[in-house]
Copies of this chain bind each other. A is one copy, B any other.
Amino acid sequence: MARRLFPLLILAAIAGMAYAQSGFQGFRFTSENEFIRPQEYRRWIFAGSSLGLVYEGEEQADGAERFHNVYINPAAYDAYAKTGEFPAGTVLMLEIMTAREKTSILNGGRYEDQLVGLAAAVKAPDRFKEKWAYFSFTDPGKPFLEKAAANKPEECWTCHKQHGADDNVFVQFYPTLRDARGKGN
């Protein structure tokens, strides 16, 4: 029996490995179309970081520059690397972090201190006619929200649509995505 079993065991092992790497992690909604905050996004693919970005017509809220970290779920990254397109199921998580300076051995420069904001961009054409929807989990002074309804298009979507380098995504700011785009896995 061992000889007949062996190929099946190999196949099952491969299926297990494939399972572990497949699926759009974090792509979960409530029955009211609210997006459920992904818990494990720090295990996703890092897309890029920035400090103090201020968009046209905006001003920094309190004058203090913030770091932005962006992560993408691995299956979406893989698809983007392979095809150059963001698939339905893409989730980009945005972390907003305070910047700290002149501590420890530093003579200059700033590093990331406290997480103060969390938001998501989600591609879900079956759920939103604009294809992409944007969600904020930030509730100042309180823990992050467990789920959020989509922001109005004019709050995020319009600017992403106009200025995102590729399909509503600010790929121009994300070196990891720029480097991977359409280059295979």
Interface residues of A (CB under 8 A from B): 1, 5, 8-10, 12-17, 19-21, 42-43, 45-46, 48-56, 58, 60, 65, 67, 69, 71, 74, 97, 99, 103-115, 159, 163, 165, 170, 172-176, 179-180
Contact = CB atoms under 8 A, between A and B. Distances in A.
B42 A45 contact: yes
Nearest to A4: B1
A16 B12 contact: yes
A107 B54 contact: yes
This protein's copies in its complex: 2
A104 B172 contact: yes
B42 A176 contact: yes
The 6 closest A-B pairs by CB, nearest first: A16-B16, A13-B16, A46-B46, A53-B109, A52-B109, A49-B49
A69 B49 contact: yes
Contacts of A1: 1
Contacts of A60: 108
Contact of A112 (B56, B112, B175, B180): B175
Contacts of A9: 8-9, 12
Contacts of A170: 104
Nearest to A14: B16
